[in-house]
């Protein structure tokens, strides 16, 4: 009897330890930026200025922060950047992250977002280090257009090879994310639908958000979900698929013959903040509770001052208590976030 009671108490205590924000959302999804360097200069993201200051912490410091977070109920960790494949020690970090245990005793779900430029040569070692899933960013399926957007010649062929290598390595399902920006690539919707069917990857279109260094964003620059659906229908009838989880950000579709999968992530026209389960850690160790936060919370500062794990836990809890209910994109008085996407971690 005592053991049953004990286990009930332990379970209850475990529940109480989980991070719940003031809006009742369980925070189970941590995104860690491991560098804010990037080898692409995508027109909608970066200014193209070389030599800007960048920030990285030792790999062990990300690991310690991740461990403390996992003890608070984080179940999924996504590594991002900047460009995470530029980061030395990335596979070591993955290997060590895969040894952590979530509150229910399983390994955390490890995912990574990359521009794919270095993926062909790294796909197998990433898998061997414990990566389970990968998302590759591609904003066109046309070599010339791709180079115009990334501002790096020859990038398309490399990324395509990277996507195929990730599939071969079993990093399935490979997701391909395309940010649609009016005037740049809205004509790529149907080509991407074909790409999903031919390459066997999940393609997800993302509405452009006001997060770039160059402040290109206007409401008109957004290609909204409705328009993406219409373009897809002009190709073939689409069929809505059930969400995988309540916190899923993408509305999912396949086609009438069941071949191909498309997701639309519509943070601007159909915000999903009500289900947000995320918290972000920047490459310089600051917590961000929302992409559009006006401030960061310096978790690394706590470590630098010699703070214990318990102090870090208290700091994280206090920070999560300040998580915003939602973003205010497109509303009068919208304030631009305190950092751009490349310095937050997408």
Q: Which residues bind ligand SAM (CB under 6 A)?
A: 38, 44-45, 80-81, 83, 113-115, 137, 177, 179, 206, 208-209, 211-212, 341-342, 346
Return the residue nearest ligand SAM (CB atom): 346
Distances (CA, A) of 237 to 232, 251, 324, 337: 8, 16, 38, 38
Residue 6, number of CB atoms within 10 A of its CB: 10
Bond into 173 cis (ω within 30): yes
Closest to 222 in 3D by CA, of 70, 44, 346: 44
Minimum CB separation of residue 235 from ligand SAM in Å reads 23
Which residue, 18 or 326, is less far from ligand SAM as judged by CB?
Answer: 326
Helix (H, G, I), strand (E, B) or coil at 328: coil
* Choice between 73 and 81, CB closer to ligand SAM: 81
Q: Are 46 and 38 in contact (CB under 8 A)?
A: yes
- Choose between 177 and 196: whose C-beta lies nearer to ligand SAM: 177
Smallest gap from residue 178 Cβ to ligand SAM (A): 8
CB nearer to ligand SAM: pick between 30 and 68: 30
Q: How far is the CB of 116 from ligand SAM (least distance, A)?
A: 8
Q: How is 144-168 classified by DSSP, letter by letter? A: HHHHHHHT-TTHHHHHHHHHHHHHH
CB of 117 to ligand SAM, least distance (A): 9
Nearest-approach distance from CB 82 to ligand SAM, in angstroms: 6
Helices 189-199 & 155-168 angle (0-180, nearest 10): 40
- In the bound complex, what is the minimum distance in angstroms from residue 33's beta carbon to ligand SAM? 8
Q: Which one, 73 or 263, has the nearer CB to ligand SAM?
A: 263
Q: Please identify, using beta-carbon distances, which residue of 224 and 346 lies nearer to ligand SAM.
A: 346
Rounded CA-CA distance 52/97 in Å is 30
**The pair of three-digit structure tokens given for residue 251, joined into one six-digit string:** 């509305």
């Amino acid at each position: 009897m005592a053991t049953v009671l004990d286990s009930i108490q332990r379970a209850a205590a475990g529940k109480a330890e989980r991070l719940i924000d003031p809006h009742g959302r369980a925070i189970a999804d941590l995104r860690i930026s491991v560098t804010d360097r990037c080898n692409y200069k995508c027109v909608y993201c970066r200014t193209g200025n070389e030599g800007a200051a960048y920030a990285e912490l030792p790999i062990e410091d990300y690991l310690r922060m991740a461990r403390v977070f996992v003890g608070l109920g984080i179940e999924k960790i996504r590594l991002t950047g900047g460009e995470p494949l530029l980061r030395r020690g990335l596979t070591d970090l993955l290997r060590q992250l895969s040894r952590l245990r979530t509150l229910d005793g399983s390994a955390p779900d490890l995912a990574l977002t990359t521009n794919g430029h270095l993926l062909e040569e790294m796909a197998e070692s990433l898998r061997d280090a414990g990566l389970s899933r990968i998302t590759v960013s591609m904003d066109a399926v046309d070599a010339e257009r791709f180079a115009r957007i990334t501002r790096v010649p020859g990038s398309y062929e490399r990324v395509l090879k990277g996507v195929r290598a990730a599939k071969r390595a079993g990093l399935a399902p490979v997701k391909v994310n395309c940010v649609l920006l009016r005037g740049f690539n809205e004509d790529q919707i149907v080509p991407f639908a074909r790409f999903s069917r031919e390459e066997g990857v999940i393609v997800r279109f993302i509405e452009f958000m006001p997060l770039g260094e160059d402040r290109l964003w206007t409401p008109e620059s957004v290609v909204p979900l409705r328009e993406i659906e219409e373009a897809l229908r002009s190709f073939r009838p689409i069929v809505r698929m059930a969400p995988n989880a309540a916190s899923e950000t993408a509305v999912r579709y396949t086609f009438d013959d069941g071949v191909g999968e498309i997701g639309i992530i519509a943070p601007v026209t159909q915000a999903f903040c009500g289900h947000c389960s995320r918290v972000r850690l920047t490459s310089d160790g600051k917590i961000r509770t929302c992409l559009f936060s006006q401030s960061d919370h310096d978790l690394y500062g706590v470590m630098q001052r010699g703070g214990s794990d318990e102090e870090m836990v208290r700091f994280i809890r206090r920070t999560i208590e300040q998580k915003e209910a939602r973003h205010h994109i497109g509303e009068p008085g919208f304030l631009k976030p305190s950092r751009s996407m490349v310095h937050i971690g997408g």
